[in-house]
Structure 1
Amino acid sequence: MKKITIAMMLMLSGSVFCQVSVGTAPQETNKWTFGGGIGLGFGSNSAFYLQASPRVGYRLTDDLEGGVVGSVSWQTSNSYKSTMFGVGPFVNYYFARSFYVGANLQHYFINYRDKFYDYKVNGEETALYLGGGYMQRIGGNSFMQLGLMYNVLWKEQSSAFSSGLVPNIGFVVGL
């Protein structure tokens, strides 16, 4: 039964992707893009990390997009608890429909509590990420983005972040 179900699902998905439209394709009139990323992590000492970063963009040209991105993350372990919210503008330039370079300015609001020492910090930090990456089409006008960004404002002594280098994986619909 399991083999029959798998075969039926494969044939059904194949028929969905094999449809061909006849005639000219209509011009796209919607220039809005939507996407973002989700992160999840586990570690020692009961560490848990959850992050979401939705984004809304607008295609200024076929290769240039600008918009707003938000970020929220929640971290907890046996020794600390942290919540962080961020928001700011971004701009991406796409070339060869496979690569992109971009800039992202984020202003973060940080709430940190050390459970062991009963130490609390409420602060703010601004980050300017510059970088780029590779895009893989996953269907129609939807893409998965794999990239690497660097926070050029990062300073080891005064930052809430452990590094200025940030790998990212995200999805974009509407390009």
Structure 2
Amino acid sequence: MKKIIIPMMLMISGSVFSQVSAGTTAENNNRWTFGGGIGLGFGSNSSFYLQASPRAGYRLTNDLEAGVMGSVSWQTSDFYKSTMFGVGPFANYYIARSFYVGASLQHYFINYQDKYYDYAVSKEETALYLGGGYMQKIGGNSYMQIGVMYNVLWKENESVFSSGLIPSVGFVVGL
């Protein structure tokens, strides 16, 4: 059950990126980007899902950005509850401000409690996401990103995630 619900909620949840530092733009040579994402989901059996993913990046060149991102998610239903924390580096390369390719290495700490069978599991998992997508400028130095990432370390029946494929929709400011 957990192998279906966790990735399904991750895929359903959209990410919204916003710049934290007010009044900074790429035009004034500020190379730092700050942002994050948030996800929210509801489902049957009193399912509830909440996720936050802060990130901080630095533009090494006008087309290459690297940084650190984290994630925390919490979900519960009538049958289970779980928390997941993740942290790791990321890098994105932007092509003509219309496309991007990226990589992200995330190490997750997962706590899962099955309410029906009354057992709990704590485990760790590392994911290496590779992928890319399309970018649409929405104003100033803000872009909407639509893409897909694949966890090349994913193994069926060994991962907490049901699939290695993760579609993504988000916004990024500060490029």
Shorter-chain TM-score tier:
0.7 to 0.9
CA distances 1:131-157 after superposition (whole Å, capped 9, x unpaired): 001112222111221111000001111
Aligned AA for 2:172? V
CA distance in 2, matches of 1:107, 1:147: 21
C-alpha deviation, 1:29, in angstroms: 1.7
Query: 1:34·1:172 contact (CA, 8 Å) conserved in 2?
Result: no
Matched, 1:67 2:67: yes
CA distances 1:85-144 after superposition (whole Å, capped 9, x unpaired): 000000000001011000000000001000001110111000000000111222211122
Deviation >6 Å, runs of 4+: none
CA distance in 2, matches of 1:102, 1:126: 17
Query: 1:144·1:169 contact (CA, 8 Å) conserved in 2?
Result: yes
CA distance in 1, matches of 2:87, 2:62: 25
CA distance in 1, matches of 2:135, 2:168: 12
Query: 1:35·1:171 contact (CA, 8 Å) conserved in 2?
Result: no
CA distance in 1, matches of 2:75, 2:91: 28
SS at structure 2 position matched to 1:157: coil
Aligned AA for 1:99? F
Matches within 5 A, 1:80-119: 80-119=80-119
* 1:40 alignment counterpart: 40
Aligned AA for 2:169? I
CA distance in 2, matches of 1:92, 1:67: 9
Matches within 5 A, 1:158-169: 158-169=158-169
Length-normalised TM-score, structure 2: 0.82
What's the C-alpha RMSD, in Å, of the aligned pairs? 1.3
Length-normalised TM-score, structure 1: 0.82
CA distances 1:52-91 after superposition (whole Å, capped 9, x unpaired): 1111110000100000011011111110000000000000
149-158 or 27-36, which moves further after superposition? 27-36
Q: Which has the higher contact order (CA 8 A, sep 6+)?
A: 2
* 2:15 alignment counterpart: none
Aligned AA for 1:53? S
C-alpha deviation, 1:162, in angstroms: 1.3
Instruction: Could you tell me which runs of 5 or more consecutive residues in structure 2 were left unpaired when the two chains were aligned.
Output: 1-25
Matched, 1:126 2:122: no
30-39 or 151-160, which moves further after superposition? 30-39
CA distance in 2, matches of 1:109, 1:128: 15
**How many residues are matched?**
150
C-alpha deviation, 1:27, in angstroms: 4.7
Aligned AA for 2:31? K
